[in-house]
Amino acid sequence: MSTRGSDFIKGVLVGGLVGAALGILFAPKSGKETREDLAGMADEFLARAKDEYEVALEKSRRTYETAVKRLKELERSAKERAGDVEETVDELAEKSRDGLEEGKGRLKKAFEAGVAAFKEDKEKTV
């Protein structure tokens, strides 16, 4: 429960107790009437406290459900992004392999051409 909500409930409880005590002290009634009034005020106070508790509990439940829903959405989004990144990395790795193979092939051809040119030049000078 939030601090603000718990402070409100504490205020309701303290206010109810103070009001009840002042009502008893200044009531010009007989003991029986005072006890009946006290019982009625206690019942009313408990009913209000129960209502406030249920409201706070419902708000907490809704907040929790909203947070869980948002976290699930974030998890799904993160998984999608991770999949996209993985796919991009795979594509880049494939392109790098292809480029490496192509470069290796060109280097081999260039080396072979160089060796052939060297042999040809050597044969011309002999």
Query: pLDDT tens digits, residue range 55-82?
Result: 889 999 999 999 999 999 999 999 999 8
Looking at residue 27, what DSSP letter applies?
Answer: -
Helix, strand or coil for residue 31?
helix
Fill in the DSSP letter of residue 39: H
Per-residue pLDDT of the chain (126 residues; tens, 9 = 90+): 566 767 787 788 778 777 777 776 676 767 777 778 778 878 888 888 888 889 889 999 999 999 999 999 999 999 999 888 888 888 888 888 888 888 888 888 888 888 888 888 777 776
Range of the domain at 22: 3-125
Q: Specify the DSSP class assigned to residue 26.
A: T
CB-based contacts of 56, cutoff 8 Å, min separation 6: 1, 5, 9
What is the tally of structural domains in the chain?
1
Asked whether the beta carbons of 14 and 32 are under 8 A apart, the reply is no
Taking the C-alpha atoms of residue 103 and residue 110, their distance in angstroms, rounded to an integer, is 10
Amino acid at 56: A
3-state secondary structure 49-82: HHHHHHHHHHHHHHHHHHHHHHHHHHHHHHHHHH
* CA dihedral of residues 32, 33, 37, 39 (deg, nearest 10): 20
